[in-house]
């Protein structure tokens, strides 16, 4: 539960940070997807702590909803595509490992391109109902490779940030009560001393 909340908070902070930097640098057309990088970490980064499909899918849907709010598109589209992306990542992680920065870059590029292609397909289907511009959809299709490349380049920094955060929040860092109980359970009298109970 706490791990899932940490993913959501981190995702929200990264979305806001990248969006603010893009606004300051007057870059609005193509921005990397930090949520795709987090989904990659969610699926492949916690191989020792295998997450259930339902738990990971819930996180993916919430991250997609945050992207929906940020981008201002039809509600639910990015939640849907992020959910489908995580299902793919979840089952791929059972057969493959993403070890090393090169593998992460390649996986980020591929995953971002597939997610954007799926999003484009959903938006194209809903274009009439939501009065979406077909010219805008065509230009978005042309920008997909560049966005995928940008996402691949930020995967490793996001991965390192997530690893750092979760290592500090992991079970190895017990609270004061846990440390005191551990000490009391392993306490032994010093050698040479006798313990008398009267």
Phi-psi domain of 133 (left: phi exceeds 0; alpha: psi -120 through 50; beta: other): beta
What does the pLDDT look like over 154-165, one tens digit per residue?
999 999 999 998
Domain ranges for the chain: 2-172
Total-model pTM: 0.79
Buried b (16+ CB within 10 A) or exposed e, 161-189: bbeeebeeeeeeeeeeeeeeeeeeeeeee
- pLDDT 10s digits, 70-111: 887 788 899 999 999 999 999 998 888 888 999 999 999 999
CATH of region 2-172: 1.10.1760
Asked whether the predicted pLDDT for residue 174 surpasses 80, the reply is no
Nearest one of 18, 52, 54, 53 to 35, comparing CA atoms: 18
- Indicate if the pLDDT at residue 47 is higher than 70: no
């Amino acid at each position: 539960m706490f791990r899932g909340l940490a993913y959501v908070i981190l995702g929200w902070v990264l979305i806001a940070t990248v969006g603010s930097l893009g606004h300051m640098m007057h870059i609005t057309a193509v921005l990397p997807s930090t949520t795709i990088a987090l989904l990659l970490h969610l699926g492949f980064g916690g191989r020792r702590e295998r997450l259930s499909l339902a738990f990971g899918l819930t996180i993916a849907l919430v991250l997609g909803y945050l992207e929906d709010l940020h981008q201002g598109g039809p509600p639910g589209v990015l939640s849907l595509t992020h959910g489908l992306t995580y299902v793919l990542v979840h089952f791929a992680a059972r057969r493959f490992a993403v070890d090393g920065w090169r593998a992460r870059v390649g996986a980020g590029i591929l995953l971002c391109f597939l997610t954007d292609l799926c999003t484009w397909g959903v938006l194209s289907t809903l274009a009439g109902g939501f009065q979406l511009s077909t010219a805008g959809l065509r230009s978005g299709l042309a920008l997909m490779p560049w966005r995928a490349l940008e996402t691949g380049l930020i995967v490793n920094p996001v991965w390192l940030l997530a690893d750092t955060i979760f290592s500090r929040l992991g079970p190895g860092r017990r609270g004061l009560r846990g440390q005191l109980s551990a000490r009391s359970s392993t306490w032994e009298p010093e050698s040479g001393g006798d313990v008398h109970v009267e």
